Amino acid sequence: MTRKVTTRKSTEERRAEAEALHETIAEQIEALRDSETWTRFLAFAQAFHRYSLGNLLLIFAQSPEATHVAGYRTWQSLNRQVRKGERGIRIFGGRDIRETVENEQTGEEEEQRRVRFFPVSVFDMSQTDLIDPEAGDPSNIAHQLTGDDPAGILDAVVDYLTGTGWTVERESIPGAANGYTTTDDSRRVVIDADLSPAQAAKTALHEAAHVILHADEDHAEYVEHRGIKETEAESVAYIVAGILGLDTSAYSVGYVAGWSKCDADTVKATAANVLRTAHALADAITTDSPAPVAA
């Protein structure tokens, strides 16, 4: 029997609440933008290179749960040390070189500049530890949820996903990632085995949103626009969890802020996709509570 969350809210009530929750997360992100927490995170985020699409595809293929990727020395400058024995993510680095060549038309020697590409290793933040914990962690703007999942959201999402042909697995995931959805043909959703029940429920909603919204998209499209995709998935999770009585704002607001660059307009621009998906997911995992019988 498929497990579902029992609710007394009508479809119309759920839709109205979804719209209100979407507006709320945009408002909370606007408030975060003026805080010292965001200022510190922004300085942290600006230390990372903008990788080419080719390198992004290489990173995602080797480490689909990667969030922030940098070289060994860059991590040290950010108060983080790559752990001994960690295997690097191989991408291509470029370096400008100058060489003297003969101009075929004039026969004169000219200096020419070109870019030489070579393989380098980078590491995800999950492969590092803080060097000085007392200095704080500027990347920490999404706080893990604690507590239970009294409504049974996780079970309902698992049954929904398996019913649509996906496999849901609980595995230990190193580092900060709570889960991921595969983008090949394996149709797997992985949720970290060490999460609290509340965090696992929220993560399941997030991954289910990826399945609905992004599983059939071109892989390169997903990777190139990952900020928008993550903003959409977490917004769906926040909305559906809120409808079912689980407040995920301690985690979701910081997560959406990070991927949307704290731009409330980006969040608002995703409203059509997010609300459509939130409605579909909420309808799929809930069942109406029978009306009370009069005495």
Tell me: pLDDT of 16 over 50: yes
What are 21-67's pLDDT values in tens digits?
Answer: 999 999 999 999 888 888 888 888 877 777 888 888 898 889 888 88
What are 164-189's pLDDT values in tens digits?
Answer: 999 999 999 877 789 999 888 899 99
Q: Which of 190, 202, 192, 193 is nearest to 146 (CA)?
A: 202
> DSSP labels for 119-153?
EEEEEEGGGEEES-GGG--TT--SPPP-S--TT-H
Lowest model confidence (mean pLDDT) among 43-47, 195-199, 244-248 = 43-47
Tell me: pLDDT of 128 over 50: yes
Lowest model confidence (mean pLDDT) among 42-56, 212-226, 239-253 = 42-56
Taking CA atoms, 114 is separated from 91, 97, 98, 100, 120, in Å, by 19, 6, 7, 11, 18
Beta-strand runs (E) in the chain: 5-7, 69-70, 80-82, 89-102, 109-124, 128-130, 167-171, 179-181, 188-192, 286-288
Which stretch of DSSP H or E encloses residue 175?
none
Q: Which of 262, 160, 161, 145 is nearest to 196 (CA)?
A: 145
User: In the predicted model, what is the mean pLDDT of residues 12-28?
Assistant: 94
What are 78-123's pLDDT values in tens digits?
Answer: 899 999 999 999 998 877 667 777 777 777 777 777 767 788 999 9
With beta carbons less than 8 A apart as the criterion, state whether 242 and 248 touch. Answer: yes
Q: For residue 293, what pLDDT is reported? A: 46
Q: Between these two residues, 48 and 70, which has the higher pLDDT value?
A: 70
Tell me: pLDDT of 292 over 70: no
Alpha-carbon torsion (234, 236, 241, 242), positive or negative: positive
State the average pLDDT for the chain: 89
Question: What is the location of CATH 1.10.10 in the chain?
Answer: 153-285
Q: How far apart are CA 235 and CA 243, in angstroms?
A: 12
Q: For residue 290, what pLDDT is reported? A: 60
Q: 153-285 adopts what CATH topology? A: Arc Repressor Mutant, subunit A (1.10.10)
At residue 271, the 3 state secondary structure works out as: helix
